[in-house]
Structure 1
Amino acid sequence: MKNILILLTFTVALAACDSGDKTEQLKAELATLKQEIQEKTVKVNELEAQIAQLDPNFSKKQDRSILVKTNKVLQQDFVHKIQVQGQVASRRNITLGAETMGRAIQVNVETGDDVKRGQLLVKFEAESTINSIKEVETALSLATTIFEKQANLWKQEIGTEVQYLEAKNRKESLERQLATLKSQLDKAEIRAPFNGRVNDVMVNLGELVQPGLPVVSLVGNEQMYLKAEVSEKYINDFQVGDEVEVYLPSIKQSFKSKVSAISYVINPANRTFQLDVKMTNQSLELKPNQFARLQLADYTSEKTIVVPSDIIQQDNIGDFVYAVNTKEGKKVADKVRVERGLTYDGNTEVLKGLKAGDEVITEGYRDAVTGISIQVAK
């Protein structure tokens, strides 16, 4: 019984595969036939047009026209843009580390906390430094008193200059020692250098930390910007101040900004250069490394000929469009050779072949051949 079920399953699967293969075969055959019909239709139209030129009677018998839509060519501005991937960055995205060895005796923040500039984040044990400061302060107090008395005596020309200078040197030396010790004591505390948010805390209360090890990661909401890696082939196409269209997919927000900086050093690993963009909308809740899409104009041409890209066709000679011409009082299609430029957003710049005011066929052009009579749909 088990063998019968396996055989039936295999038979059904085989039939399904055969059915799928048959469907794909029929689709391919249909596509081939449609292509042949289109090619033969174009060939018939070309032959009829050629015969009509040689035999006027044939032209009268075969007099027919195709229905098309047309547009007049106008001069307009053409802009070509590229899209690059970028990300949000912050100039205030830092990791604060320990400057001296010590045990954490205070950890005042947690991940996600908002902090103010100067706020104490983490404090390390510094008992020996505090005791040294007290000792130096006591010695400095005595040295200051001796120096003041010695200075008064020296004004009265009592004592020697050496005694005065020794007292002064002792006092100043202790002042420098005290300043050094207080600086060391400051290093036992980590304070926020700017307003921001705690991204991570890498130390626990009571943990011994070595100098240089990371302790707190802090991110500031200010000075956010966008950065993108752009192919080196565009190195001369952009300038500081160029307009940029920005889209943030994660929050579905768009805004316009400007290029703020361009790196002129090529990254040898991926042959790109960095391009920075200002963050004009500071009200958005953004996070470093958040994905962004940037659109920049790498080519602009003013008052040029622009046509829809899909009306430009190709043959074995090159690119062409069908324009409207008048022959014996009738509108006919005329194949015009063109030289195309860049294409963007469904439009193509035409460098040669057309001029302002020319009428081109925008619909029905696939049925057109040179000399065929046309009717313009209203």
Structure 2
Amino acid sequence: MKSYSKFLILPLAALMFSCAKEDELSVKKAELDELKTQASELRVSIETLEKEISALDPEFGKLNRKSVLISTTTPKKEVFQHFVEVTGAVLSKKNVNISGEVSGRIQEITAVEGMRVSKGDILAVIDAESIQRNIEELEKQLELAVIVFEKQERLWKQQIGTEIQYLETKNRKESLEKSMAGLKTQLSRTKVRAPFNGTVETVNVRLGELVQPGTPMFQFVGESDLFIESDVSERYVGIVNRGDSVVVSFPSINKTLKTKVSAIGAIINPNNRTFKVEVVLPNLEYVKPNMISVMKIKDYENKNAITVPNYLILQDSKGDYIFVVENGLSKKKYITRGKVYQEITEVLEGLDGSEILVDKGFREIGDNFSVNIAQ
């Protein structure tokens, strides 16, 4: 019986110890919650009192305000340039349609689309059979006219015959010679040739097709005299001028070059309120007509500018301002903006370049905040 009692007492003791431990933990948790509530109420009371005292005594507010950790930067004194960025297309002053100059059927086409040819190369041949027959017939007439003229000339030198007979034979010979020259010119025009070095863009005729003078046969683009044409907003009239420096980039081939404005349009397009600007291009193998380009035309330059990053400039009811550090405090410094280009703003008034500007942390401060500069 005694041994059985021992086994019963041990579990009961463990249970009682466990209950006591849980009661103690509950008491501590309740006590912690009560202290947290009191601390929260005290913080609210403290903040309220600080605000009320600061309103009555500004110096108290400055002394009791916590320092904000910030980083700093300085304004830059540099050459500031502003560019007008527009999109343009490469064009050629030698983008022409080559037409036939004589009538006839296409006998041969030697050119294919995309072919690069030199000046004088044959692109197509028009049937010249009728012209050739006329030349052969005229050659016989001319041969006889020359013989008659030579005999008449010898007689005239011997004072035989009349001057009229001599002049008539001479006129007939010269008339036939001119006709022969005209037929040979027509014969040469049956061979359609490249007018300059370039590329055959399109072929508009087929073998055996009948063409007339003026019939477009080929679209031909020259390799030289390339330029870029772009539409620029009318608000830049008088700002963008002939001779202005231009940086041209070609996104498709990742190439960039410098050139100048070569021509300015004289009228405003009423549909989109723009005017034409042309930029001359050097002969470049990798640049092709109709290629898209981005032009940056310099329209403004200040060699002694003070500049700051755009993101540092804030606004209020008084205007634009930037935070500077003076005697451990942040101060609002009102400025006058100039031009803006690529996230950089030109400052016309308000800064002299010697200020220490608040960089990181500028959104967490206000006027007269105590600041701590990160090292």
Please confirm whether the aligned pair reaches a TM-score higher than 0.5, indicating the same fold: yes
Alignment of 1:215-234 (within 5 A): 215-234=217-236
For residues 321-341 of structure 1, give each alpha carbon's deviation from its aligned partner in whole angstroms, at most 9, with x where no partner exists. 112223xxxx22221221112
For residues 234-285 of structure 1, give each alpha carbon's deviation from its aligned partner in whole angstroms, at most 9, with x where no partner exists. 232233443322222222333333333333333333332222223346131x
- Give the superposition deviation at 1:84: 0.9
Alignment of 1:171-210 (within 5 A): 171-210=173-212
CA distance in 2, matches of 1:108, 1:56: 93
CA 72–64 in structure 1, closer or farther in 2 if over 3 Å, else same:
same
Aligned to 2:301: 300
Which stretch of the first structure deviates more once superposed, 287-296 or 340-349? 287-296
Aligned to 2:16: none
Specify which of 333, 358, 370 is matched with residue 373 of structure 1: 370
Quick check: 1:49–1:371 contact (8 Å CA) kept in 2?
no
- Give the superposition deviation at 1:313: 0.6
- Give the superposition deviation at 1:349: 1.0
DSSP 3-state at the match of 1:254 = strand
Share of identical aligned residues, percent?
Answer: 40
CA distance in 2, matches of 1:155, 1:225: 65
Which residue identity does 1:223 align to in structure 2? D
Which stretch of the first structure deviates more once superposed, 68-77 or 331-340? 68-77
Task: With the length of structure 1 as denominator, give the TM-score of the two structures.
Answer: 0.78
1:113 corresponds to 2:99: no
Specify which of 361, 364, 369 is matched with residue 364 of structure 1: 361
Gaps of 5+ in 2: 1-46
CA distance in 1, matches of 2:310, 2:192: 62
Specify which of 351, 355, 376 is matched with residue 352 of structure 2: 355
Radius of gyration: which is bigger? 2
Which residue identity does 1:166 align to in structure 2? E
Aligned to 1:311: 312
- Give the superposition deviation at 1:314: 0.7
Aligned to 1:9: none
Gaps of 5+ in 1: 1-43
Quick check: 1:114–1:197 contact (8 Å CA) kept in 2?
yes
Quick check: 2:224–2:283 contact (8 Å CA) kept in 1?
no
1:265 corresponds to 2:262: no
Aligned pair count reads 327
- Give the superposition deviation at 1:348: 0.7
Which stretch of the first structure deviates more once superposed, 247-256 or 200-209? 247-256
Aligned to 2:22: none
CA distance in 2, matches of 1:363, 1:87: 42
- Give the superposition deviation at 1:57: 4.7
For residues 153-195 of structure 1, give each alpha carbon's deviation from its aligned partner in whole angstroms, at most 9, with x where no partner exists. 3333332222222122112211221222222223322111122
CA 171–57 in structure 1, closer or farther in 2 if over 3 Å, else same:
closer
Task: With the length of structure 2 as denominator, give the TM-score of the two structures.
Answer: 0.79
Quick check: 2:204–2:218 contact (8 Å CA) kept in 1?
yes
CA 291–49 in structure 1, closer or farther in 2 if over 3 Å, else same:
farther
CA distance in 2, matches of 1:53, 1:272: 60
Quick check: 1:255–1:281 contact (8 Å CA) kept in 2?
no
Alignment of 1:339-354 (within 5 A): 339-354=336-351
Aligned to 2:331: 334
Specify which of 267, 281, 288 is matched with residue 279 of structure 1: 281
- Give the superposition deviation at 1:53: 8.7
